[in-house]
Amino acid sequence: MKSEQELKELVRQKYSEIALQDKEDNQASCCGATCCSTEVYNIMSDDYTQLEGYNPEADLGLGCGLPTQFAKIKKGDVVIDLGSGAGNDAFIARAETGETGKVIGVDFSDAMLSKARANADKLGFNNVEFRFGDIENMPVTANTADVIVSNCVLNLVPNKDAVLKDIYRVLKPGGHFSISDVVLIGTLPIGLQKSAEMYSGCISGAIQKEEYLELIKQNGFENLTIQKEKIISLPADILSEHLTEEEIAQFKSGGAGIFSITVYAEKPMEVKPCCEPGCC
């Protein structure tokens, strides 16, 4: 079993490789050093092309939803995009918050940050910035954001509880998040669970849907709503790479499922007083 740090380095390496290619290359080639089906990175992505603020150079086809479409961003809001990649969701958010707002993207891949910053420069945006950092410990002061969005990123982080705690810290009282992510219902076959490629491709790092929602509640968020949900079907070439024919048949008939969900929740307007050592 890989450590949390090893898993994070695996993700950093994979997505740095992807950053050096465009969307078409990612969909048509092996996306990186190891020969794997690139479909694992883009089978979940939704169509952004009709959304205001869409920029094709920032779209690497890596998401699993459209969180900014559901995020209730208002003019003048401060928006933070977790795992901002090449800037796709950040630029959509900028179209919503306008020139009077601010968008901060956070990512831990230098290659992705370089791509995002170059895209922002081309667009001439002076209220969109991209910061290097872990989303478990954002380089952002407390009570900064009106809205936080994220697209298919929390499932890549081993310590999801730490991410949710930092989202709570960074949101203003009364602020909210809209996050698209991958969750499971039932148990994945061992072959998929153990695959490093499945981890960096968003799947084996996912947790059970009910556990995911319970983590959000445990971290003090209110008015939790599932804004969108869809089932994810793994292509045959991915399944055959990691499972025998018998295991594939058992997986398809066993009731387990992989889902993309977009979840909305709010930080309370009045934060409850700290009652445990270290909880603040």
Q: What is the mean pLDDT of residues 241-268?
A: 83
Res 240: pLDDT: 77
Name the pLDDT band for 273 (thresholds 50, 70, 90): low
Q: What is the mean pLDDT of residues 254-269?
A: 89
> The domain 4-22+39-182+216-229+262-266: what is its CATH number?
3.40.50.150
Between 21-25, 120-124, 144-148, the lowest mean confidence (pLDDT) is in 21-25
Length of the chain: 280
Mean pLDDT score of the chain: 82
One-character DSSP codes across 39-91: HHHHTT----TTSTT--GGG--S--SS-HHHHS---TT-EEEEET-TTSHHHH
CB 177 within 8 A of CB 224: no
Res 276: pLDDT: 54
pLDDT digits (tens, 9 = 90+) for 202-241: 565 788 999 999 999 999 999 999 999 988 777 777 777 7
Residues 6+ apart with CB under 8 A from 263: 177, 178, 179, 180, 181, 212, 213, 216, 224, 225, 226, 227
Res 35: pLDDT: 39
**β pairing state of 102-107 and 78-82:** parallel
pLDDT digits (tens, 9 = 90+) for 67-117: 999 999 999 999 999 999 999 999 999 999 999 999 999 999 999 999 999
Q: Which backbone phi and psi does 15 adopt, to 5 degrees?
A: -80, -20
- Cα Rg, the chain, nearest whole Å: 18
Assigned token pair, 145: 């954001």
Is the pTM higher than 0.95? Answer: no
Res 89: pLDDT: 95
pLDDT digits (tens, 9 = 90+) for 139-156: 999 999 999 999 988 988
Name the pLDDT band for 274 (thresholds 50, 70, 90): low
